[in-house]
């Protein structure tokens, strides 16, 4: 438990505290009308930044996500996720409703209330072609609004430069955690990846931007009984390149529970389904599919490399260290295989 958080967000006591605050009026829940006397609270999920609790009275439900870190230690400010709420299309997934980013509240930790998106997270190996096609169509709905500049929702925007993005992120890792970012293995991969991103940079010139989820790995997608994917946990939502979201779900470079393995044919089908659906939802943003593919491939290289740094860092401190260590090895093996193919 960190400073600024007065209750362990993962402990049963946190659930009891939520229940008491609702029943005594310490917390007023927005959204669907919940009957405080009938409310039940149960753990829903656990991420690195938040512990999620389901609040339901049997007829309506919301999710309360308690921060596991101090506000200043969050990767993305809670307010950014809250501001993203109005840009989330109806029915696409959960939506932030309210927040309190202080620890001096009845729940004892900063929290965010969101709507509940029913469904289950599928293991990467359980993502079949119909689900990938459904995901591609849902992404096209999410990305339908055309925007001129990239950046945080409600913040100052700019044109996106993929090499600058890589340099900035890798520089942060080298400064904050040189023990993982400056190993011979990491440095060698960075030296190979940067020229590939520079070669892809022309595909980023003059592109339209859209509202993107920013962290649409498999663990942030729930699938309902009809097979419809819905998106949760909008912590990294922002205005950006749609190809970023396309790269996050998976591809050739995979590891852990986050990334769906896709061979060349599966990836091609996924991209074509998205390209066709986006032409329907945002015809003014239609672009050659090969340009989209080039950017998706560049984002995959960059995102997996940076994720491997994060996973190696977690492998030295997380209760699930072995999972993170294996994911680091798998992702770096995948990076080397892809980089070898394009030499």
196: domain CATH number?
3.90.1200.10
Q: Show which of 115, 144, 163 is a domain's final residue.
A: 115
Q: What is the pLDDT of residue 5?
A: 57
Q: What is the pLDDT of residue 326?
A: 98
For residues 343 and 330, give the distance between their C-alpha atoms in angstroms, rounded to a whole number.
20
Q: What is the pLDDT of residue 2?
A: 45
280 and 229 share one domain: yes
Reply yes or no on whether the pLDDT at 277 is more than 60. yes
Give 13's pLDDT tier (boundaries 50, 70, 90). Answer: very high
- Strand, helix or coil at 108? coil
Reply yes or no on whether the pLDDT at 1 is more than 50. no
Q: Which tens digit of pLDDT belongs to each residue from 27-63?
A: 888 766 788 889 999 999 988 889 999 999 999 999 9
> pTM for the whole thing?
0.93
| Containing structural domain, residue 179 | 124-341
181 and 329 share one domain: yes
In this structure, are residues 259 and 251 in contact, taking their beta carbons and an 8 Å threshold? yes
Which residues fall within 8 angstroms of residue 9, CB to CB, at 6 or more apart? 50, 51, 66, 67, 68, 109
Q: What is the pLDDT of residue 288?
A: 95
In this structure, are residues 27 and 109 in contact, taking their beta carbons and an 8 Å threshold? no
85 and 159 share one domain: no
Which residues fall within 8 angstroms of residue 178, CB to CB, at 6 or more apart? none
156 and 82 share one domain: no
Reply yes or no on whether the pLDDT at 3 is more than 50. no
Reply yes or no on whether the pLDDT at 103 is more than 80. no
For residues 223 and 227, give the distance between their C-alpha atoms in angstroms, rounded to a whole number.
6
**CATH number for the domain harbouring residue 76:** 3.30.200.20
């Amino acid at each position: 438990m960190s400073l600024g958080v007065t209750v362990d967000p993962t402990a049963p006591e946190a659930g009891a505290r939520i229940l008491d605050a609702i029943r005594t009026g310490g917390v007023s829940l927005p959204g669907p009308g919940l009957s405080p006397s009938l409310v039940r609270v149960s753990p829903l999920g656990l991420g690195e930044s938040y512990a999620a609790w389901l609040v339901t009275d049997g007829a309506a439900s919301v999710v309360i996500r308690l921060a596991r870190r101090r506000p200043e230690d969050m990767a993305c400010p809670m307010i950014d996720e809250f501001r993203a709420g109005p840009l989330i299309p109806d029915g696409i997934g959960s939506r932030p409703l309210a927040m309190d980013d202080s620890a001096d509240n009845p729940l004892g930790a900063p929290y965010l209330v969101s709507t509940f998106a029913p469904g289950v997270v599928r293991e990467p190996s359980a993502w079949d072609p119909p689900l990938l096609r459904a995901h591609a169509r849902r992404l096209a709905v999410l990305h339908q609004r055309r925007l001129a500049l990239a950046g945080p929702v409600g913040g100052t925007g700019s044109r996106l430069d993929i090499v600058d993005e890589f340099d900035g992120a890798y520089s942060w890792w080298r400064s904050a955690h040189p023990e993982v970012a400056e190993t011979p293995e990491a440095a060698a991969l960075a030296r190979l990846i940067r020229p590939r991103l520079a070669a892809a940079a022309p595909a980023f010139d003059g592109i339209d931007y859209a509202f993107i989820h920013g962290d649409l790995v498999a663990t942030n997608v729930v699938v309902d009984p009809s097979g419809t994917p819905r998106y949760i946990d909008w912590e990294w939502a922002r205005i950006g390149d749609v190809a970023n979201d396309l790269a996050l779900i998976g591809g050739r470079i995979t590891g852990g529970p986050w990334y769906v393995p896709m061979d060349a044919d599966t990836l091609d089908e996924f991209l074509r389904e998205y390209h066709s659906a986006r032409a329907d939802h945002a015809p003014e943003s239609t672009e050659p599919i090969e340009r989209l593919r080039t950017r998706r491939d560049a984002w995959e290289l960059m995102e997996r490399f940076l994720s491997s740094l994060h996973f190696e860092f977690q492998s030295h401190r997380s209760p699930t260290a072995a999972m993170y260590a294996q994911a680091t090895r798998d992702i770096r093996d995948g990076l080397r295989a892809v980089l070898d193919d394009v030499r």
